[in-house]
Structure 1
Amino acid sequence: MKIRLRNRADMDACVEALAQVQAADRYPVDWPDDPGGWLTPADLTSAWIAIEADNVLGHVGLTRDAEIVRLFVTPAARGRGLAAQLLDSVRAAARGPLKLRVSSEGEAAIAFYERSGWRRVGSSRADWVNAAGEPALLHHYVSP
């Protein structure tokens, strides 16, 4: 397994990995019409993947304003420390503190960030709805 910068040729495998995550965890909450576009928001500066034998096992992106986005690890690859390795790759490339937002429904993700030293600095409502059909509650974190 290795972690490297994502390139255009990786997109189909990234979408396939995202589909596995969405089926298991409902992330993203609703499957996007353009999953490749969802993985590449307009303010994305870089994205990294964890890859093994041409299979994408994990993904993370970094925006212009130092926000971590689109972090996920496929269900079959969990428990191997890939999320931490992906975040370490972003930290090595970025300058200064990073930030991220996570839905309150993402209990495993919240536990992971807090175990990793990320600090919650606030919460807000999203412009999309959660499983209950209400605006999702997003928790805001900053890196250690």
Structure 2
Amino acid sequence: MEIRDRTPDDLDACTKALAEVQAGDRYPVDWPRDPAGWLTPDGLIGAWIAVEAEAVLGHVALTRDMEVTRLFVTPAARGSGLAARLLDTVRAAVETPLKLEVSSEGTAAIAFYERSGWRRVGSGRARWLNAAGEPALVYYYVSPPRSGEEQVG
């Protein structure tokens, strides 16, 4: 399996992978009108994909405010350490601490981030609605320190 920079030509395969994730996990909560646009948020500075036999198995993006976003792994590729490899790829691309937010409904994602050393630093309400039709509760996380660094915040 290869992890590489995402190109515009990859967006159709990324959308197909996202559809698999959304069908199983309801991520994103509501299917976007423009999935390729959703995968390319404002302020995007990088996006990476995991590919095997020309199929996209995972995706992650980074915005200019150092937020990790649009991280997903297809159901067939779960349990392989792929999400950790994608996060490591983002961390290797920048030297500053990273942040992310995750819905309180994403219990598997929360458990993964916390096992990986990410630290919850707050919570708030999102502009989008959760499964109950209410503004979603999201948790904010910061990346673990690199070797030799102190935890910030």
Fold equivalence (TM over 0.5)? yes
Aligned to 1:77: 77
Q: CA deviation at 1:96?
A: 1.2
Query: Secondary structure of the equivalent of 2:66?
Result: coil
RMSD: 0.4
In structure 2, C-alpha distance between the alignment counterparts of 1:37 and 1:94, rounded to whole Å: 24
User: Is 1:68 paired with 2:58?
Assistant: no
Structure 1: 4+ residue segments shifted above 6 A = none
Amino acid at match of 1:137: L
**How many residues matched?**
144
Aligned to 1:34: 34
Pairs within 5 Å for 1:1-144: 1-144=1-144
CA-to-aligned-CA distance 1:7-53 (integer Å, 9 cap, x gap): 01100000000000000000000000000000001111100000000
Amino acid at match of 2:25: D
Query: Secondary structure of the equivalent of 1:37?
Result: helix
Q: CA deviation at 1:132?
A: 0.5
Query: Secondary structure of the equivalent of 1:111?
Result: helix
Q: CA deviation at 1:95?
A: 1.5
In structure 2, C-alpha distance between the alignment counterparts of 1:50 and 1:57, rounded to whole Å: 5
In structure 2, C-alpha distance between the alignment counterparts of 1:39 and 1:11, rounded to whole Å: 8
Query: Percent identical across equivalent pairs?
Result: 74
Residue ranges of structure 1 left out of the alignment (5+ in a row): none
Amino acid at match of 1:61: A
In structure 2, C-alpha distance between the alignment counterparts of 1:143 and 1:32, rounded to whole Å: 28
Residue ranges of structure 2 left out of the alignment (5+ in a row): 145-153
With the length of structure 2 as denominator, give the TM-score of the two structures. 0.94
